[in-house]
Amino acid sequence: MLGLSVEDLHEASGFIVDVVLLLGAIGAAIKFRLFNILGFRWRSDLKCAHYPLPNSSVIFAADYTVNNAGQRPLRLKNVTIRLTGARQEGTLLEPDENRIFATRIFESDDPALKGRLFEIEPGEQTIFTLRAKLPSLDEAVFILCEFSLEQKCKPGTFRGFYAKASLTRPDPLGELSS
């Protein structure tokens, strides 16, 4: 035949298998590292509204949504939503944490919060709400939202901004200008 023994074939194929396994492991490590396949990823969103009451007080409502955009479940320890005033720094508006109007803290070990509110599976979302009755509402406020994870990641604070709509709006039909 070709002069190759069974031992020679076994030795050559063993070396080829080792090389292929090593290349596969390197490729998987690069793929996981480059594309962060097993990383934690999330997206936050905030929706706000206010409702004036007949006695001049205001109901303020904020919905803070945390979306799991990763491949692993997010396990939250706590979520905090703070409604603060705004202060002007030059031409910029910034949160004024010396004027906190309302704070809501959600703790994962709170027995009153039943269900899987703090475990967000991949592709799912959880909405945390702040509802506050205030004597009045400034023209501009900030909503500071933050959460902590059981994992070691430290997310940044989500800073939302809300400005009351003006009651004197431009006339859309131009009736006042004719």
Q: What is the pLDDT along the chain (178 residues), one digit of tens a residue?
A: 456 676 766 676 777 878 888 888 887 777 665 555 566 788 999 999 999 999 989 999 999 999 998 888 888 999 999 999 999 999 999 999 999 999 999 998 888 877 778 899 999 999 999 999 999 999 999 999 999 888 777 788 899 999 987 555 555 554 544 3
Listed in sequence order, the residues at least 6 apart from 66 whose beta carbon sits closer than 8 Å to its beta carbon are: 42, 43, 44, 74, 76, 79, 120, 125, 126, 128, 147
Phi, psi angle pair for 4, to nearest 5°:
-100, 130
pTM check: above 0.85: no
